[in-house]
């Protein structure tokens, strides 16, 4: 089976590194034109867009700012004319003990980036897709949405759980308008965001939590996202696909 996205434009948030960069590369390899979103890593996003070719371009936005989320969607659609697939990948994982003086601020930032931004972009995408004959949303959640996380990451788990409910609601509510929505829920993956954990506890600790012999890489997640973006799985709309190396089996 070959997946050809040559006629598709895809917006990938958080695409300058990690899972987002792997998704952007996989989309481009299948022929898609990619809008490479970044928050702060402009140079990395510009380099990635140049590497991808095919008309890929970088777009900067601080997703903690609701106005920036709306502006990002407008900038991409103004530039490319339309978007066929939205991949909400951007996220933060802030360790915050419950007795920390910054707990509320950490909670609010986590929700702003991980859930509110995803909701705003989904809202814009749904309206755009309804006006342009349909489209697909792939939201990158986490196994933490289902099994929970450590006490320092209550906000992270809660935000990812909200993303799952958001996706299912979109799938149920807008399917007849041609909008499909999916969740991909990775487990522990070797990314820059996960490096603090690896540095603190060691890679063996992370590997011992999974059923396979090596840690999940961003490139292990990306092909599933491309498949969901292709239209070949539209009747799985609303579903969650776990990519966690059996560290959480439902």
Give pLDDT tens digits for 147-184.
999 999 999 999 999 999 999 999 999 999 999 999 99
Give pLDDT tens digits for 5-62.
999 999 999 999 999 999 999 999 999 999 999 999 999 999 999 999 999 999 999 9
Give domain status of residue 215, yes or no.
yes
Q: Is the pLDDT of residue 1 over 90?
A: no
How would residue 132 be classed by pLDDT, with cut points 50, 70 and 90? very high
Give domain status of residue 201, yes or no.
yes
Residue 11 has what pLDDT? 98
Average pLDDT over residues 216-241: 98
16 Cβ partners below 8 Å, 6+ apart? Answer: 36, 37, 38, 39, 41, 42, 44, 45, 48, 58
Q: Is the pLDDT of residue 246 over 90?
A: yes
Nearest CA-CA partner of 10 in 179, 236, 230, 242: 230
Give domain status of residue 27, yes or no.
yes
Give domain status of residue 245, yes or no.
no
Give domain status of residue 246, yes or no.
no
Q: Is the pLDDT of residue 241 over 80?
A: yes
Lowest mean pLDDT among 69-73, 147-151, 234-238: 147-151
Give domain status of residue 244, yes or no.
no
Q: Which domain holds residue 91?
A: 9-239
Q: How far apart are CA 128 and CA 67, in angstroms?
A: 17
What domain count does the chain have?
1
Instruction: Output the domain CATH number for residue 220.
Output: 3.40.50.720
Q: Is the pLDDT of residue 205 over 90?
A: no
Q: How far apart are CA 171 and CA 234, in angstroms?
A: 10
Give domain status of residue 248, yes or no.
no
How would residue 191 be classed by pLDDT, with cut points 50, 70 and 90? confident
Q: Is the pLDDT of residue 87 over 80?
A: yes
Mind telling me the catalytic residues? Answer: 156
Give domain status of residue 1, yes or no.
no
């Amino acid at each position: 089976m070959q997946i050809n996205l040559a006629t598709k434009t895809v917006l990938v948030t958080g695409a300058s590194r990690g899972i987002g960069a792997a998704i952007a590369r996989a989309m481009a390899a299948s022929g898609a034109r990619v809008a490479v979103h970044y928050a702060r890593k402009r140079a990395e996003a510009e380099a990635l867009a140049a590497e991808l070719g095919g008309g890929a371009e970088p777009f900067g936005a601080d997703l903690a700012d609701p106005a920036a989320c709306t502006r990002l969607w407008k900038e991409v659609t103004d530039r490319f004319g339309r978007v066929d697939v939205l991949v909400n990948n951007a996220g933060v994982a802030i360790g915050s003990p419950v007795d920390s003086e910054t707990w509320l601020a950490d909670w609010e930032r986590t929700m702003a980036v991980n859930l509110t931004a995803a909701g705003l972009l989904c809202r814009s995408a749904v309206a755009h897709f309804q006006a342009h004959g349909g489209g697909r949303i792939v939201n990158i959640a986490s196994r933490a949405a289902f099994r929970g996380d450590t006490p320092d990451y209550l906000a992270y788990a809660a935000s990812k759980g909200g993303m799952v409910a958001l996706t299912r609601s979109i799938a149920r509510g807008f399917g007849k308008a041609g909008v499909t929505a999916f969740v991909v829920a990775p487990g522990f993956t070797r990314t820059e965001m996960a490096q603090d954990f690896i540095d603190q506890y060691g890679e063996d600790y992370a590997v011992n939590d999974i059923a396979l012999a090596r840690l999940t890489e961003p490139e292990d997640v990306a092909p599933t996202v491309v498949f969901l973006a292709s239209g070949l799985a539209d009747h799985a709309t609303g579903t969650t696909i776990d990519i966690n190396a059996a560290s959480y089996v439902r």
